[in-house]
Chains A and B, each alone.
Chain A
């Protein structure tokens, strides 16, 4: 269970990433954020986002048309 859930379903690039960054910014190091999205491009976007920011992508799953990402703030 993540510390916080961010629902960005229905939003397209680049809003899911911007909203995730905003949420992570207010979270302490070690806290986890679950992001729920429907943009298919979000899968590769969140992989790249975590790689470049140093945050850890703990989980990337899909349930129907909803993509779920769990990110641990490390940066």
Chain B
């Protein structure tokens, strides 16, 4: 059983939006929906391999509550989605270029590779596209 594919265009670096993207991606994947996440703009900064734990996620009032209540970590949710379902993650090739990063600069075992926006949007024509 395989549902309508879900495509998430993740641009925001806000903790709250990163959290929602991770929740949507993991729940979609375990619900038998193929999920693809395209990470660009400020969002890519949260996936830097060398980001300090306390500085990885920046947000507002709700971000403080998420941390205070020990909500599941964004990276952990994405990893669980990948382990339990069909979840692919792509790093925006433009964002990598602007940051001067290679794929090795991103956290391990989370990304399937680098991708251009044109290819992602083309693929997304076959499913539901959500932008955060």
Contacts and interface: CB of A to CB of B under 8 A. Distances in A.
Contact of B27 (A12, A14, A22, A25): A14
Given A48-B31, A52-B3, A14 B77 contact: yes
A13 to B, nearest CB: 7
Interface string B97-129: 000000000000000000000000000000000
Nearest to A53: B32
Interface in B80-108: 80-81, 83-85
A21 B30 contact: yes
A54 B2 CA distance: 10
Contacts of B1: 52-54, 75
A18 B23 CA distance: 10
Interface residue tally on B, bucketed by range? 10 to 19
A48 B3 CA distance: 12
B84 A22 contact: yes
A17 B30 contact: yes
B72 A53 contact: no
Contacts, number: 42
A15 interface: yes
A49 interface: yes
Contacts of A48: 31
Contacts of B26: 14, 18
17 contacts: A12-B71, A13-B27, A15-B72, A18-B84, A21-B84, A21-B85, A22-B83, A22-B84, A48-B31, A49-B30, A52-B1, A52-B3, A53-B1, A53-B30, A53-B31, A54-B32, A75-B1
Given A13-B27, A17-B31, A52-B32, 9 more contacts: A12-B71, A14-B23, A14-B26, A14-B77, A18-B26, A48-B31, A52-B1, A53-B1, A54-B32
